[in-house]
Amino acid sequence: MSHHPRAVRSTTLAGIGALALLLSSCGSTEDGSQQKSAAAQPSYDTSAVTAGADWLAAQAPKGVVHNDQYGTDDEGLSVDVALALHAVGEQEATVQAVADHLTQGIKAYVAPGYGTLTSAGSTAKAAVLAEALGDDPTDVGGLDLVSRLETTVAAQGPAQGRVQDQVDPKQKGAADYANTIAQAYAVQALDGADSGAAADATSYLLQQQCADGWFRLDFPAPDAKAQGCDADPRSAPDIDATAFALRALDGSDDPHAKAAAHRAVSWLEGVQGSDGSFGGAPAGQTPNSNSTGLVGWVLGDLGETAAAEEAATWVADHQIGACPGAGAKDRGAVAYDDAALSAAAAKGITVKTQDQFRRASTQAVPALQWLPAGSSAKASC
């Protein structure tokens, strides 16, 4: 499973043709084998991902996404924006601004209140961002995110390895919101920090995969004797959970993780629509750019370029271009689905719809790295 080189994505068709001619004049390599034609290498459109990255960066002008509808800052979505921008190598100043803002308010982010003393998912995601930027996850704003995350990992019992939000039992309504996506972020963070808890966390994540290859989203009760996916009749396939789990398992040396990743890839490619799209949860629902973008991004990173290219083409068809009703500030955003695209084409992104556009775009824009050159997007209006 090879990672997508940005240098290849930015190669132009003209450049490929010139290089092919040069290589053909060079003949064979030293061992006698024929040089592989550079024309066989894929060429990707850079304009769509750049437009999307520019729009995403504009959503966090001071390092944080502000929800105008409710008048609140959304640190979690801000981290999603930063991870997306970092993945495509664009707008690194915004990425750093998000990281700096998060550092300043890290205590409130990992312990949001309302009875939640430590959010496993938020702690893990903050650690993943720190590791992605080459920062020390054991000292983010004075907090050791790795140690704090380790305290959320069950050390024994049938749920050993499972991450759980730490809640105040005296607070009415306090609940554990951790699920497979939080578990996947935890595996990434703990593995990246060489934590001793990584193996148990990975083992529990693997239990959330059913025999067909997909992962479920929700966990059973913490004290349930059977914690595995196949043992729970309520288990249902979840596209996003499967993609997040696959990302966490990518590159693992654990043979069980490698096998699980292979099954997940096979299942995802098996449920991809003929138009390149993916539906929401459960699988097979109305196609949307949130799931299509996420899966295309992950599969592209894993070297599954054919599926990634098809997903990118569908996403590009839902990216706002020069629409009559949309202003220049809206260009580059990715609509969640056909209905959202039609509405935006008529009247642009509104205060009420901006949050959906932001959440869809953070998962969709990175998939545009695999948009084949010459693709004609329908979203040009």
In this prediction the pTM is 0.88
The more confident residue out of 151 and 25 is: 151
Q: How far apart are CA 274 and CA 89, in angstroms?
A: 30
Write the CB contacts of 62 (distance below 8 Å, at least 6 apart in sequence). 97, 101
**pLDDT tens-digit map of 207-227:** 999 999 999 999 999 999 999
Which residue is associated with the tokens 């995969």? 209
Q: How far apart are CA 127 and CA 352, in angstroms?
A: 31
Write the CB contacts of 54 (distance below 8 Å, at least 6 apart in sequence). 90, 91, 332
In the predicted structure, residue 35 carries a pLDDT above the cut 90:
no
In the predicted structure, residue 11 carries a pLDDT above the cut 60:
no
**pLDDT tens-digit map of 247-284:** 999 978 889 999 999 999 999 999 999 999 998 766 66
- The pLDDT of residue 381: 59
The more confident residue out of 19 and 150 is: 150
**pLDDT tens-digit map of 114-136:** 899 999 999 999 999 999 999 99
Q: Quick one: DSSP state of residue 117? A: E
**pLDDT tens-digit map of 54-112:** 999 999 999 999 999 999 999 999 999 999 999 999 999 999 999 999 999 999 999 99
- Percent of all residues in the chain with a pLDDT value above 90, rounded to a whole number: 78
Report the half-sphere exposure of 216 (CA within 13 A, side-chain side): 19
- The pLDDT of residue 327: 83
Q: How far apart are CA 97 and CA 197, in angstroms?
A: 30
**pLDDT tens-digit map of 161-188:** 999 999 999 998 889 999 999 999 999 9
Q: How far apart are CA 191 and CA 249, in angstroms?
A: 10
Q: How far apart are CA 149 and CA 128, in angstroms?
A: 11
Determine which helix (DSSP H) or strand (DSSP E) holds 72, and give its type and residue range.
Answer: strand 72-74
Q: Mean pLDDT across the chain, nearest whole number?
A: 88
Q: Domains, the chain, ranges and CATH?
A: 105-271 (1.50.10.20)
- The pLDDT of residue 283: 62
